[in-house]
Structure 1
Amino acid sequence: MKELRETIHNANLTKTQKMIAKYVLDNSADACFMTSTEIALKLGVSESSVIRFSRSLGYSGFMDFQKALRKDYQGKVLSISSSITVPAQRIAKRAKLENNSDYINRHFKNAAKNLENVFTQNSIQTFEEAADIIIASKRKYIAASRGNTCLSDYFLLYLKQMVPHVALTNTACLSPIDHMCNISKEDCLIIFSFPRYSSIDKITAQMAHDAGASIIVITDKPSALLAQYATILLTVPVDSNAFFNSMIAPQFVSEALLETISHKAKGIEKRLKKIDKYLGELGNY
């Protein structure tokens, strides 16, 4: 993208072309898959203006420009935004990228990028505050749905080994509403929510909010569906080049929060020894 910025900077562009340039630079992940007609409609300009813009940058036409833009996207971004939530649409978008067999390397680079964003989007203090709320709360409810339950199950297991009164809200016979019927302002809700967002998660957060409970929301961006309910908001991207979300960064956030709690909670060693005693009798070693 640096090369494109320099090309645009050095080009003699009209006011309309500068507007097109700004859109392309700010929305390259979308622009490289849009037709000249779609960009024109998006910006309220003529299709010929988009074509002339491409030629002013030295390309033979829009298709030539788009090919270069798409190649840059393939090499530098390596991911499909989680804002595209429908799996079939994600597969279709991936198919437009240059096809090669270097899947694992792309996945690694994408996951590393998501992990880096954890530290740019969240402060250590935010983890500390979330841990303090969880420990101080009388009851701790954990919520998630569909593919996000892998995070809630993991968090449930280890939080239960550190603090008392921890409950998962997604069981087969009961809804979160049933589980949380006694939630109060003394309690907290830890909720994992990533695209595709769930209406049941929204109702769960609303119920906790109405009760005055503290709510720790772990989601992908500040504008996400449940962000408005957050007492503490932890944001982590789940962008991937597959049709499903990448859970590597959210798993890291989950582990980081659990480790923070482990340094603050009291009586963990006693609780773990008791658990280990009975697990040993079951043959778990």
Structure 2
Amino acid sequence: MSEEDLNRSLVSPRDRFGNRVRKNLSAATMQERVVASDTRALADTYARLDESGAAQQAAAVVLGARRRFIAGEGKSAAYALLLATDLSATLSNIHLIEGRALTPIVALTDVRETDVLIVFAMRRYSAEVIRLGRLFHEAGGQLICITDSESAPLVDLANVVIIVDTGSASYADSPTPVVAVAHLLSTLISASAKGARRRLTERDRLAQELGLYEPDEEALSEN
């Protein structure tokens, strides 16, 4: 069995813990293994993106949409929040579906062809996110799926699929390549977004007006 096949067969964190975490391993050895596996996973993810062009395709879809929805459940909710936060700084109509202010049923009520939904769907694949993606697609919206396998749910329905290698030496699948992809995607989108510089300038002004951040003492002393 290949390393990738073994990784995919270890479905739950409990399975991975039993296979990868040994009592006789030192902290230094465990750190070395995690760093090495994360480095490989990140390199593999970037290589896939170079070959497929999926990140650039996804950026084009997002830029061409009128409303941009982002969703993820469990651990993937953090990835969705990260991407939504970064995109909101440079782009309008960014909507995070988080189950409170914006619930799936609200988002699905008025889907248009010009809408796009970016879903983070990592194993063990949230049933709620899969339903949301399927219903959004059926309602006529565009779907971008960021996931960890070519056989994952929603792959066959998505307009653009970004495959992320989450292989790890830890009991937890690696978040490093997923975060890197979110960062890359937000950078590609923001670089081509009309009015991005103006929005960032206005945000800086408003942040100062609202007193959102502590003064940078070092910068003040230099002035």
How far the C-alpha of 1:100 sits from its partner, in A, is 3.6
Q: Larger Cα Rg: Structure 1 or Structure 2?
A: 1
> What is the CA–CA distance in structure 2 between the aligned matches of 1:194 and 1:218, rounded to whole Å?
8
Residues 75-114 of structure 1, C-alpha deviations (whole Å, 9 max, x = no match):
xxxxx72542212111111246973431111111011100
Aligned position for 2:13: 87
In the alignment, is residue 258 of structure 1 matched against residue 186 of structure 2? yes
Q: Measure the CA separation in 2 of the matches of 1:268 and 1:28.
A: 45
SS in 2 for 1:113: helix
CA distance in 2, matches of 1:83, 1:264: 40
Which residue does the alignment assign to 1:153? 81
Question: Which runs of structure 2 are paired with 1:13-28 in the superposition (5 Å)?
Answer: 27-28=1-2
Contact 1:240 1:246 in 2 (8 A): yes
Q: Is 1:233 equivalent to 2:190 in the alignment? A: no
Q: 1:109 to 1:192 in 2, by over 3 A?
A: same
Match of 2:219 in 1: none
TM-score of the pair, normalised by structure 2: 0.87
Give 1:253 shift.
0.7
Q: Do the aligned partners of 2:90 and 2:190 also contact (CA within 8 Å) in 1?
A: yes
- State the alpha-carbon separation in 2 of the partners of residues 205 and 244 from structure 1: 24
Q: What is the distance in 2 between the residues matched to 1:239 and 1:168?
A: 27
Aligned partner of residue 192 in structure 2, secondary structure: coil
Partner of 1:187: 115
Q: Give me the CA root mean square deviation.
A: 2.1
Q: Of Structure 1 and Structure 2, which has the larger fraction of its residues in strand? A: 2
TM-score when normalising by structure 1: 0.69
Q: Report how far residue 148 of structure 1 moved.
A: 0.9
**Using the alignment, how far apart are the partners of 1:225 and 1:125 within structure 2?**
21
Name stretches of at least 5 consecutive residues in structure 2 with no aligned partner.
216-223
Percentage of pairs with the same residue: 24
Distance 1:257 1:278 in 2: 26
How many aligned positions are there? 211
